[in-house]
Structure 1
Amino acid sequence: MSIKDEFQETKSELRLASLYQWFERAVVLFLTLLIAIVVVAAVWTLSLKILFGLVLAGGLDPSDFRVFQAVFGMIFTVIIALEFKKSLLVVAERREAVVQIRSVIVIALLAICRKVILLDLNETDALHTLAFATVILALGIVYWLVRDSDGRREETA
């Protein structure tokens, strides 16, 4: 399909869109722009902290667990923001009114994993550790079930 044909198709779809669909699309695009700005700012800040705060200042000690915890925490924050932006773009491009639950589960898994990475096991009791493990296991099972049901739905279609 040529770009001209795609443009014509999009133009005809937009003419048929209701006021709410226009509003929804505008909000999603605005949120995507905001998340993109946050991602750029986070990557810039992360780069400056790693380059000037750790490498040039001599603070990057491979044996210092706290430094690696902080760096990986910042990296996971950027990854979570990127996944959130991607899920917003999927919503903006969708043709159905269903939000992709897999994206929400992946974002939740990433957030919990970030928390576990930043967790200081010396200061955390066993009950909290068990709670994190249970949440990760439950989200993993839900993701597997949703992915499995999506696969079965595609096979029947």
Structure 2
Amino acid sequence: MRKLFKQIAENLKDHRFMHSIENIEVVVSKLLSLFMVIVIVAAIIDLGIFLVQELFTTPHGKFNTILFEIFGLFLNILIALEILENITGYLKKHVLQVELVIVTSLIAIARKIIILDLRKVTGIDIIGLGIAILALSISYLIIRFSNKQNN
């Protein structure tokens, strides 16, 4: 009987420890969410300032050269939103959603390709980006296919 009580006491200690770890994870996730919101707001303000400056200071006909920079800033905000969605999804389900991580990675690589200066990169860089896109796309298809089968 004494062994049984000792076993129960040890299990309660383990349960309390795991519960405290889960509480720490929730606090950290909430802090990350708040910090990500601050980053998103700062990025939007930065984008707004950049747009206003470029719209009024760029000579007519030269706006196309800045367009890729603007697209990069937009995609930065979109990536930050995806990361925030990853964090809030973790808070809701306590599971990291691999599909969202892969989509975020694809957006990040798309951003890299959009702002890519072809005069400054080598062929191996472009091949590497292509392989990364292919691998992430295949991973995304596998995850989507397996999610459809599980539902």
Normalization by structure 1: what TM-score?
A: 0.79
Residue identity in the other structure for 1:69: F
**Cα 1:90–1:33 shift into 2, 3 Å:** same
Q: Secondary structure at the match of 1:123?
A: coil
Q: Do the aligned residues in 2 keep the contact of 1:61 with 1:67 (CA within 8 Å)?
A: no
Q: Partners in 1 of 2:132 and 2:31 — Cα distance? A: 32
1:146 aligned onto 2:143: yes
Q: Partners in 2 of 1:92 and 1:62 — Cα distance? A: 47
1:66 aligned onto 2:76: no
Normalization by structure 2: what TM-score?
A: 0.82
Q: Mark the runs of 5 or more structure 1 residues left unpaired by the alignment.
A: 1-16
Q: Partners in 1 of 2:62 and 2:144 — Cα distance? A: 39
Q: Which is higher, the Rg of structure 1 or of structure 2?
A: 2
1:39-83 Cα deviation digits (max 9, x unpaired) = 0010011001101x11122x1756554301110111110100010
Tell me the number of residue pairs that the alignment of Structure 1 and Structure 2 aligns.
Answer: 134
Kindly, what percent of the aligned residue pairs are identical? 28
1:54 aligned onto 2:51: no
The structure that is helix-richer by fraction is: 2
Residue identity in the other structure for 2:112: K
Partner of 1:131: 128
**In angstroms, what is the RMSD of aligned CA positions?**
1.7
Residue identity in the other structure for 1:68: L
Residue identity in the other structure for 2:78: I
1:42 aligned onto 2:39: no
Q: Do the aligned residues in 1 keep the contact of 2:89 with 2:95 (CA within 8 Å)?
A: no
Q: Mark the runs of 5 or more structure 2 residues left unpaired by the alignment.
A: 1-17
Partner of 1:115: 112
Residue identity in the other structure for 1:33: L
